[in-house]
Chain A
Amino acid sequence: MTDRTTLSPLDLETPDKTFLDSNELVINMGPQHPATHGVLRVILRLDGEKVLGLECVIGYLHRGVEKIGENRTYTMFNPYVDRMDYVAAVSNGLGYCEAVEKLLSIEAPPRAQHVRVILTELNRIASHQLWLGTHALDIGAITPLFYTFRDREEILKIFEKYCGARLTTHSFRIGGLQYETYNGFEKEVKNFLNFFRPKISEYEELLTTNRIWVERTKNVGKISAEDCIALGVTGPVLRASGVKWDLRKAQPYANYKNFDFEIPTGQNGDTYDRYLVRMEEMRQAVRIIEQAVDALPEGPIMAKVPKVMKPPVGEVYHSIEAPKGELGYFIVSDGSTQPYRVRVRPPSFVNLQALDIMCRGQLVADVIAVIGTLDIVLGEVDR
């Protein structure tokens, strides 16, 4: 475990010294900064360009989502979860719906499960595309951003046609789906897959063997598997450190156990490995969607759900593999129509805790690269 007991950047011994008098420099990165992906504030303590330590200040986007959950019925709270990780809204919805379903001891019908998997994996691709574009932009490659956004548009079009919304989709309901798939859904998804498969190679062409890209990402922001596990870091960050842990395989939910896919892992736990892992995850997502579309069963899309949802007294923890890592919902029911407590375990928030370890001893430019590679969404960090 890396030593984290060194001085916090906030405790400068002589605060009245100006920054020119000492070799150490404390600068504020954010909350308004082009590379902090929202309103993250990072206080950096620098020696020249070298990072001595940093501290994240969060809460600028706090909307009290968890508290709102205590004042809404189970159904009413559903759209709110989309607003946490707004680039992976479908995953958020899936996690919440499945958690409540677990609480109610009901199960969504197979067709609904399949459509859920298709939409969630499409969303995983969209989320990874957004990550790739912004991550590359932070490192100075401006072109991939536009390529990924062009292709992400096709996914958003499918979402829009399915449920009317592009970003905060609210596509699932507790017990299944509200909408049957539209005419030509399967065909359009397949068209997208055929369109998208060569595009991954196109992104890779721009970056994977690009000398500057490799130099900027190899051995940058390294984190060991032990550190990851100790901090609770999950998702591609954990897998890039060599731990083959993916909830889709480890604790299969929805009907992921029916599909055949690989879990890509890295060895070095550096930014380059995380990049490769995510690129491969996009390919695997394509594989899953393909299987799901091919095997899409007929049948009902909604289980029998009571009109007024009053789950029995008890608690449930359900977690899914969101694009950013383990997204968990802990819901306590007191038997009424509203949850007694909703606690979200957001992957972005937990992963962000690794920023300090990953950045210590690196340069300012690496902090940007590491924030990008952690793939945080501040809506989810602050909730």
Chain B
Amino acid sequence: MNAFVQYIESYLTSNLTPGAAGNMFWVFVYILLVFVGLSVAVICMNWLERKILAHMQVRLGPMRVGPHGLLQPFADALKLLLKEDIMPAEADSVIFWAAPFIVVLAAFTTFVVVPFGPQHAITDMNIGILFMLGVSSLSVLGIVMAGWASNSHYPLIGALRSSAQMVSYEVAMGLAVVSAILMTSLNATGTGTLSMIGIVEAQKAQGEWFIFKFFPLGLVSFAIFAIAMVAETNRAPFDLAEAESELTAGFHTEYSGFRWSLFFLAEYSAMIAVSSIAVTLWLGGWLRPFPNLLSGPRWDTFFSYFPGATFLALAAICFFNVARMPKHPYFRIQTVGLAGFGGFLAFIGLVLFIPAVSFRVQDIFWFSAKVAAFMYLYIWYRGTFPRYRFDQLMKIGWKVLLPVGLGVLILTAGVALFQQNLWRP
């Protein structure tokens, strides 16, 4: 027993990821944490998307289920789970059954290497970024299978569009990623890394996020990735695959209930996954803002208050809305519920002020905050842009993003070579 406790405790002092440390217990715990955290994130994202979009469109969004519609995602999930499981008679049942699982599997597996902090990843692979890109591309297989197996026109067109789109944007995406990886090799040894944690460490060592590196080259490659990732996840303005007004729902037209919710889950986790890549490669991953400019223990302490303060601010918003709730007895349960939710957030906030906790957790906070900014962008795009047409989408992918990506890659390589070999300050 003692040995087991020691086995568990031994990891807490290590600076490695549980996978790299070979600690199977913590690997298991981390897998659970990532899975649960991701599901919670998708639920939050569901609510936030509806609310934010609603407020951009001068309406309220969900207001009935729970205070300010906070329980709406749960009600929706329950509804989806209780729906009849429909499989079209003409569908190819095995492929139809398997397609959503492949999509979900691809979306979730990528999180094995996502570095939420120097110790907070399930494992640290030396080919991390390749693994992420490779596994996330597998989801196109599921989409094609879904469209094909439905044996129906709209899903077929949706799947064709979506596979063409994802495959072509992967090229531009890959070029952008390569130019970021090139930047990791700017050190004394001249060797770069594909490890997700290594990439962030390289940004830390070089003292600047890759988005600012070789200005504007880093920015351009980031922009290419940021555009390609929206197309890659089939989101507005590139949501042709599920263009509601054209193809009803695209490749998942024939899906309903739980199977449909799997596609939904996969779409949102894929969004989080590609945002994680962008954050890791260009925005310094888990690093707090200005790690070099504002360095020193006092700034460290200052920034370590941010996680707790954020949760306290969220709690304050809750309490502010508790005060604004109608005083009618009909709203009493909702008011109490909202107050309880605020209390819960405030409790988390206070816990995060404990130095030992915040020391271990603040990396996760900064990483999530950066990803959340991307999630907001996704919603913002959706509220602002009309949809591209298929040929225009392809034109952007092949005629704009690809040449620009190639140019940036060559320029980056040239500048890196120059700095590394010909000119040493």
Contacts and interface: CB of A to CB of B under 8 A. Distances in A.
A146 B58 contact: yes
Nearest to A140: B387
Interface string B40-57: 000000000000010011
B245 A34 contact: yes
B154 A212 contact: no
B382 interface: yes
B386 A141 contact: yes
A373 to B, nearest CB: 13
A281 interface: no
Contact of A365 (B59, B154, B246): B246
A352 B178 CA distance: 51
Most buried by A among B56, B153, B240, B382: B153
Interface in B374-410: 382-392
A292 to B, nearest CB: 30
A365 B390 contact: yes
B248 interface: yes
Given A35-B246, A142-B57, A146-B57, A212 B157 contact: no
A35 B386 contact: no
Contact of B386 (A28, A136, A363, A366): A136
Contacts of B307: none
B385 A368 contact: no
Nearest to B54: A146
Interface string A222-239: 000000000000000000
**Chain A interface mostly helix, strand, loop or mixed?**
helix
Contacts of B385: 140-141, 210, 212
A216 B387 contact: yes
A66 B58 CA distance: 41
A33 interface: yes
Contacts of B156: 19
A147 B156 CA distance: 34
B386 A216 contact: yes
Interface string A5-33: 00000000000000100000101100001
B244 interface: yes
Interface string B100-127: 0000000000000000000000000000
Contacts of B388: 140, 212, 215-216
B281 interface: no
Nearest to A369: B389
A206 B56 CA distance: 12
A18 to B, nearest CB: 9
A27 B245 contact: no
B56 A33 contact: no
Contact of B383 (A138, A142, A215): A142
A216 B383 contact: no
Interface in B125-162: 153-154, 156-157, 161
Interface residues of A, number: 32
A108 to B, nearest CB: 39
Interface residues of B, number: 31
A349 interface: no
Contacts of A213: 386
A206 B391 CA distance: 23
Nearest to A49: B390
Contacts of A316: none
A143 interface: yes
Contact of B384 (A19, A33, A143, A147): A143
B59 A146 contact: yes
B237 interface: yes
B383 A143 contact: yes
A161 interface: no
A157 interface: no
Nearest to B384: A143
A150 interface: yes
B358 to A, nearest CB: 39
B245 A140 contact: yes
Contacts of B389: 215-216, 363, 365-366
A368 to B, nearest CB: 5
A73 B236 CA distance: 53
A11 to B, nearest CB: 19
A58 interface: no
A140 B239 contact: yes
Nearest to A367: B246
Closest A-B pairs by Cβ, 3 of them = A140-B387, A35-B245, A146-B57
Interface of A: 19, 25, 27-28, 33-35, 49, 136-143, 145-147, 150, 206-207, 210, 212-213, 215-216, 363-366, 368
Given A34-B244, A34-B248, 7 more contacts: A140-B385, A140-B386, A141-B385, A141-B387, A210-B385, A212-B388, A368-B245
11 contacts: A19-B153, A34-B248, A35-B244, A35-B245, A137-B245, A142-B57, A142-B382, A146-B58, A215-B392, A216-B387, A363-B390
Interface of B: 53, 56-59, 153-154, 156-157, 161, 236-237, 239-240, 243-248, 382-392
